[in-house]
Structure 1
């Protein structure tokens, strides 16, 4: 009698269950990504505060306030999802990456008022882009945490 793919068990030659090892490898550590999202949210708050603490133009105030607030909300939303044992939203993290990249290049597009603010904005943008890109990548290829699957 021949075996069809449906008849075969999901074990390898040594008798190890392959499905268990596959799922262990793909389950994300939400604690690490949670801290990544929290750090990105804090950097967003720094973007909001920085034009009020460093010499700036009105355009820089508007830019950093709007971009920083959006980054704070997006990263905060993903932080909240991760505290509830759900995966972070990859689309939201991707939008935060784009906002981080905008913050990185915005000093070249608008007058910031001082080189200190321009440098601070570029560094904050680079940090946000890196953190949220990592979050988006890690969450795009992961399975839901074990507790999240039981709640759904």
Structure 2
């Protein structure tokens, strides 16, 4: 295949840019948002201290909002914000280690918070990486 634009049809048929499946990334952002909602709900499901309720509610809400923002961007056929996905990674890492610093009230809540934090950090890190490496077709044309 040629890397030159096809001028006969008036369409650019370049294939040398790193395209991103925005549908898959959109579902990934939706999953992270749902994990954030689980984090918000978990202290009300399991035995929790006041500190654990505040921590999980605030961190879970922030994760939900950041992942939701990227979900909306991707639903509009734009790339996800790498900075916002990176913030979700940091929030996930805090959720992972927070049971070490905050009395959670039950081992079930502490384990659930840590596992949720690990999943959020891993999925958001992949989202940030993939969107950072992706080119939009407009960027690829500009480089040609």
**Which band: TM-score by shorter chain?**
0.7 to 0.9
Aligned twin of 1:16: 2
Say which SS state the counterpart of residue 92 (structure 1) adopts.
Answer: helix
Aligned twin of 2:114: 122
1:68 aligns with 2:60: yes
Say which SS state the counterpart of residue 21 (structure 1) adopts.
Answer: coil
| Per-residue CA distance 1:75-96 (angstroms, 9 max, x = gap) | 0000000000000000000000
Unaligned runs of 5+ in 1: 1-14
User: Are 1:85 and 1:145, in contact at CA under 8 Å, matched by a contact in 2?
Assistant: no
User: Are 2:3 and 2:16, in contact at CA under 8 Å, matched by a contact in 1?
Assistant: no
- Give me the TM-score of the superposition, normalised by structure 2: 0.87
Q: How many residues align?
A: 131
Aligned twin of 1:34: 26
CA 1:123/1:101 → structure 2, altered by over 3 Å: closer, same or farther?
same
User: Are 2:47 and 2:106, in contact at CA under 8 Å, matched by a contact in 1?
Assistant: yes
**Which 4+ stretches in 1 moved above 6 angstroms?**
none
Please provide the CA RMSD for this pair: 1.7
Aligned twin of 2:76: 84
Aligned twin of 2:35: 43
Residues in 2 aligned to 1:51 and 1:113: alpha-carbon distance in whole angstroms:
9
Unaligned runs of 5+ in 2: 6-13
Aligned to 1:106, which of 88, 98, 102?
Answer: 98
Residues in 2 aligned to 1:48 and 1:145: alpha-carbon distance in whole angstroms:
38
